[in-house]
Amino acid sequence: MAAATHTSALTLAERVGDLVRIPSVNPLQAGPKSGDDGEREISAWLADRTEAMGAEVTTHDIIDGRSNVYARFAGETDRVVTVDVHLDTVGVEHMTDDPFDGRIDQDRVWGRGSVDTKATLAVVLAVLEELQAEGKRPVPTVNVVGTISEEMGGLIGATGYREFLLESGNRIDQLIVAEPTMCAPVHGHKGGVGLEVTVHGHAAHSSKPHLGKNAISAGARIVEAIDAEQQRLEGLEAPTAVGNGTVSVTEFGGGVARNIIPPSCSLYCGRRTAPGEDPDDVFAQLSQLIRAAASPLEVDIEIANGFGSAGFWQDPDSPLIHTLCELAATEPEIATYGSNALRYDVVADEIVVFGPGSIDQAHQAVEWIDIAELDRAADVYRAWFRR
């Protein structure tokens, strides 16, 4: 049997740079710099690469030829773990340097996706290659899962993987959702419910507003009601460290001309759900509030993406969190952002959000990850796959 191998930090950095050079911008944020190919190229790369490594590979078409990739590396035990890495990145049109150069400079790897979250993909594959070079298998069976559409689009990639597991009757013992957490296991964050609202009024000449029904005025009352609801939420006692739910109106539009009473307006209301809140109940409560504020005008209300998400919460005393804290020398944390963890509660016994690098570098006009973070994450995965 071959001696133990250890991928150098520089090689890890080069692997991340290679992945950055494969553009995979979410199509909902595509532009001239990115093109509109989405995750198709990197999905094909991942399927080919893992198949060449001997994995059992399933390609799952989710939408418009954009595919999840599920690569199963058989282990020595019945324990099954998954590392879910979303393959899409945010847009690049606002970036101030080459978004896809993947250069290595100042002990960092630069470019879109370097920290969010191609770093984890490069690290996990490198560690599995180390085991293969030694003639070994990981102790648990390891699923390397590449999912599409995490950044925008309703987490349909994660939903697809969940449905794949349910239909096949498979369940995961431990699941890591890759995000930049500075290698601290994140055990909770908020979910969300989006309400797409259309207010129906009646047009009239602006010189005789009493003959019309001003949809924008009703929309303004809705905004005031939502602001009051946010103040109410702020005064509640938070049930977990994630905090209370929040709500805000983030889009508003209407009007057809300066001399016409607006016959309609539309707005988007975003509600972040705390762990323990039922998204259906939240949708119903906000819908009632919105209808009351708009009265006597009628409103249409639809839930964005067809469904909402409860908040994510994992007991911080769980074995997986203890293991990751021990291996990375970090402490459990909660996050302000959302992740694919929102989709996996029914298919995994333990779920943790975890990965190298800082979320503060994600989505920026300049994105990078410290090479030292890659090395630290590799040490964690080496130990975890051998336990």
Q: What is the percentage of the chain residues whose pLDDT exceeds 70? A: 99
**What residues contact 130, with CB distance under 8 A and at least 6 apart?**
4, 5, 6, 7, 382
User: Does residue 4 register a pLDDT over 80?
Assistant: no
Question: Do residues 71 and 144 touch, judged by C-beta distance below 8 A?
Answer: yes
3-state SS of 129-183? HHHHHCCCCCCCEEEEEEECCCCCCCCHHHHHHHHHHHHHCCCEEEEEEECCCCC
Summarize the confidence of residues 137-142 as an average pLDDT. Answer: 98
Closest CA to 64 of 31, 88, 97: 88
- Does residue 3 surpass a pLDDT of 90? no
pLDDT tens-digit readout, 268-282: 999 999 999 999 999
Identify the weakest region by mean pLDDT among 5-9, 142-146, 148-152, 175-179.
5-9
**Mean pLDDT, range 118-134, rounded to an integer:** 97
Whether the pLDDT of residue 1 is over 60: the answer is no
Residue 2's pLDDT is 66
**What's the whole-number mean pLDDT along residues 24-35?**
96
Cross-sheet strand order for the sheet of 141-147: 56-63, 66-73, 141-147, 80-86, 172-178, 348-354
DSSP, res 72: E
Q: Under CATH, which number does the domain 9-188+311-386 receive?
A: 3.40.630.10
Q: Which residue has the tokens 């969190």?
A: 321
Domain residue ranges of the chain, discontinuous segments joined by +: 9-188+311-386, 191-306
3-state secondary structure (DSSP) of residue 195: strand
pLDDT in tens, 195-236: 999 999 999 999 999 999 999 999 999 999 999 999 999 999
CATH fold label, 191-306: Alpha-Beta Plaits (3.30.70)
User: Structure pTM?
Assistant: 0.93
Check pLDDT > 60 for residue 334: yes
| Distance, CA of 184 to chain centre | 17
Query: Tokens standing for 299?
Result: 């409103």
Is the pLDDT at 130 greater than 80, yes or no?
yes
